């Protein structure tokens, strides 16, 4: 049996970045070049553990929406 993995990591820096840039979940979904859902953004903001692929999609969408270059460590703290 697998050991329990902590899935809820708490609010992420992504939330502060989105608030500072007046972005909503829809803005990231619209800016994404890959298939992305509002639920993915919601889970990322709340700190639910994401797969590496989903984290990449979120960071790329954030970079496209803001015109800046954020790294994973800027957006997620896990």
* 70, 44 Cβ separation under 8 angstroms: no
66 assigned to some structural domain: yes
pLDDT at 2: 60
Give 1's Cβ-side CA count (13 Å radius). 2
This prediction's pTM = 0.89
59 assigned to some structural domain: yes
* 37, 29 Cβ separation under 8 angstroms: yes
62 assigned to some structural domain: yes
Q: Which domain holds residue 67?
A: 13-75
CA neighbor of 61 nearest in space, from 78, 43, 75: 75
Cross-strand partners of 52: none
pLDDT band at 3 (very low <50, low <70, confident <90, very high): low
Number of structural domains (the chain) is 1
């Amino acid at each position: 049996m697998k050991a329990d993995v902590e899935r809820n990591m708490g609010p992420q820096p992504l939330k502060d970045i989105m608030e500072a840039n007046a972005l909503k979940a829809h803005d990231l979904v619209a800016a994404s070049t890959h298939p992305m859902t509002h639920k993915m953004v919601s889970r990322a903001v709340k700190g639910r553990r994401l797969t590496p692929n989903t984290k990449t999609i979120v960071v790329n969408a954030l970079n496209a929406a803001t015109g800046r270059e954020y790294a994973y460590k800027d957006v997620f703290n896990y």
